[in-house]
Structure 1
C-alpha cells in the first residue's frame, strides 16, 4: 500500500532530455518500495493539486537561454501561490541539462524553491557540456535516492 508520493515534474522536449526523465523515473520506481508511488507529470500538465498530493518532488529542465524551460516556469507560475502555505518544507531535488554551464538556470530554480520554502535534499544536479551517457546513471541515482529516502522516512 502506497502512502507517500514522489512527484517528478520535468520538461523533456528532446530525445536526450526524455531519456533523462525516463532514467529518473526508472531509478525512483526501482527504489520506491511498497510505500511510495512515483508520478511523472510534464510541467504543462502538472497542477497545484499534484503538488499538494506529493510528499517530495524532483524538478527537471533543459537550460534555455541561460534559464529554465518556459514550461517549467509556467508550472511555477500556476502552482506557486496555491501550494505556498501548505507545502513549506517539502523535500525537493532538481536536474538541469545544460549545454553551457547551467548557472542561470540553477539560480532561477533555487530562487523560486527558496520562495516556496521547499527543502533541498541535495544541490541541483547540473549535467553540462556535450551529451554523455553517464548523465543517465546520474539521473537514475537521483531518482533512486529520492524514492529510497522517502520510503525510509529520511525525507
Structure 2
C-alpha cells in the first residue's frame, strides 16, 4: 500500500486545520495509508518510508516557520539522493504574502529532487496586527475544501501509480 506523509507545523491552528482537511480528503475512497505528522515528530525514516508528501506550514516573518525549518534541517542530508522523483505538494498559511516561504521550501524540495504535482497553495489570513497574528486562526471553508481536494488528488495519483 502506498503511503502519503502529510507533514505540518502550526502555531495558531490554521496550518493544522488545512493539514487535517487534506488528510480527510486523502482517505476518501483511496487505498493509501495517510501518515499525518507534526514537523517535530517527523524524521528521515518517515520521509524514506513515504511515497509522496504534502507539506503544510505557516509563514513566519516572511520565511518558513521555525518548526518546519527544523524538520527540513533534520531530514535534508539523511534523505538527500533517496527521494528522487517522489511527488509533493505544499500549502502555506500566511498573513499577507507567503511567496518567500514557498520559494524557500520549493528550493529544498528541488534539492531533494522531488516532483511538484500541484502549484504551491498560499492561504492568506490577512493577519497584520500583533493580536491578529497571534490569534487562533479559522480557515475559510473554501480553502479547507481546496486542501481536501489536494489531499484526495495526491492519494488518487499514488494509488493509481500516476505519481
* TM-score where L is the length of structure 2: 0.88
Q: Which runs of 5+ in 1 are unaligned?
A: none
Whether 1:104 aligns to 2:100 is yes
Equivalent residue for 2:159, pick from 135, 151, 154: 151
Deviations 1:119-151 (A, max 9, x none): 101111111244532110111111011001111
Which consecutive segments of 4 or more residues in structure 1 shift more than 3 A?
none
Deviations 1:62-109 (A, max 9, x none): 111111111111111000111111111111000011111111111111
> Structure 2 CA distance, aligned partners of 1:137 and 1:9?
18
Match of 2:2 in 1: 4
Whether 1:68 aligns to 2:99 is no
> Structure 2 CA distance, aligned partners of 1:89 and 1:102?
25
Match of 1:84 in 2: 80
Q: Are 2:8 and 2:16, in contact at CA under 8 Å, matched by a contact in 1?
A: no
Match of 2:11 in 1: 13
Q: Secondary structure at the match of 1:73?
A: helix
Aligned length: 151
> Structure 2 CA distance, aligned partners of 1:20 and 1:122?
16
Q: Secondary structure at the match of 1:63?
A: strand
Task: Out of 129-138 and 21-30, give the one that drifted further.
Answer: 129-138
* TM-score where L is the length of structure 1: 0.92
> Structure 1 CA distance, aligned partners of 2:73 and 2:107?
13
Match of 2:115 in 1: 119
Note the C-alpha offset of 1:52. Answer: 0.3
Whether 1:139 aligns to 2:147 is yes
> Structure 1 CA distance, aligned partners of 2:150 and 2:99?
19
Equivalent residue for 1:53, pick from 49, 53, 78: 49
Q: Are 1:101 and 1:129, in contact at CA under 8 Å, matched by a contact in 2?
A: no
Note the C-alpha offset of 1:17. Answer: 2.6
